[in-house]
Chain A
Amino acid sequence: MTVHNLYLFDRNGMCLHYSEWHRKKQAGIPKEEEYKLMYGMLFSIRSFVSKMSPLDMKDGFLAFQTSRYKLHYYETPTGIKVVMNTDLGVGPIRDVLHHIYSALYVELVVKNPLCPLGQTVQSELFRSRLDSYVRSLPFFSARAG
């Protein structure tokens, strides 16, 4: 079980942070375009899901999976989106994504007066804490399984 990569977007589609741990295949397009593609897809799926839902929607879009990976999604009321790609053995990880938002992003970026919001995160502390947090998760193993 493993984590492939993680994206962090803000309300305007700006990619605030991207980290990868085990990614065997790249998208074949420049990183900027990859972020735009990811954000555009999430935006469309969110509105599709809420429109086509046969019942009243509670949480909205949570995750999608393919035969090789699963994409987990978490959005805050302020429009911050945490997107994590893991392999198929991983169940719902809403609390993990929430922790990334509240204990890492809010604590180390929002509360840091030298970090301008709405731009890519420059804080080394955020990067290193995020990395050690993801590596400490029970479903992260050093060998890509």
Chain B
Amino acid sequence: MSLCVLEGMGFRVGQALGERLPQETLAFREELDVLKFLCKDLWVAVFQKQMDSLRTNHQGTYVLQDNSFPLLIRMASGLQYLEEAPKFLTFTCGLLRGTLSTLGIKSLVTASVASLPTCKFQVVIQKT
């Protein structure tokens, strides 16, 4: 239950960042540009580093991978704390969802950790 609250807070922050951060008005010609903005500008503004990789199936699903996620990097380097790690990613999932929402994209964001500090954020675009 409290994870929903955390995700909601991230969403609100993401909404505001989505409004404040983009510097060129016509930069987003297509969905992929928005995702690239998330990986580069948003990540740099919040975590002082870029996302390490972005993959897509070109059908509305994107996987963003960060190989040394700042919130996990001090915790472990491997498999210790693997069970609790996703809780610390909830706020960031909301952040991504909120930024996408301000930029006009409705989405569902989940996170997964295979081995700390690498984590993956899966963004699924909701077609209305």
Binding site for B on A (CB under 8 A): 107-108, 111-114, 122-125, 128
8 Å CB contact of A125 from B76, B84, B88: B76
* Secondary structure dominating the interface of B: loop
Q: How far is the CA of A58 from the CA of B77 in the complex (A)?
A: 40
B55 at the interface (CB under 8 A from A): no
> Is the Cβ of B88 less than 8 Å from the Cβ of A124?
no
Please indicate the chain B residues that have their CB under 8 angstroms from the CB of A123 in the complex. Answer: 75-76, 80
Q: How far is the CA of A112 from the CA of B74 in the complex (A)?
A: 6
Q: How far is the CA of A125 from the CA of B81 in the complex (A)?
A: 11
Tell me the B70-111 residues at the A interface (CB within 8 Å).
74-78, 80-81, 84, 88
Binding site for A on B (CB under 8 A): 74-78, 80-81, 84, 88
Of all chain A residues, the one with the shortest Cβ separation from B84 is: A114
Q: How far is the CA of A114 from the CA of B80 in the complex (A)?
A: 10
Q: How far is the CA of A4 from the CA of B77 in the complex (A)?
A: 26
Of all chain B residues, the one with the shortest Cβ separation from A108 is: B74
Please indicate the chain A residues that have their CB under 8 angstroms from the CB of B80 in the complex. Answer: 122-125
In the complex, the 6 A-B pairs of residues with the closest C-beta atoms, listed nearest first? A124-B80, A125-B76, A125-B77, A111-B74, A114-B81, A112-B75
Of all chain A residues, the one with the shortest Cβ separation from B76 is: A125
> Is the Cβ of A113 less than 8 Å from the Cβ of B88?
yes
Please indicate the chain A residues that have their CB under 8 angstroms from the CB of B76 in the complex. Answer: 123-125
25 residue pairs of the A-B complex, CB under 8 angstroms, read A107-B74, A108-B74, A111-B74, A112-B74, A112-B75, A113-B75, A113-B88, A114-B75, A114-B81, A114-B84, A122-B80, A123-B75, A123-B76, A123-B80, A124-B76, A124-B77, A124-B78, A124-B80, A125-B74, A125-B75, A125-B76, A125-B77, A125-B78, A125-B80, A128-B77
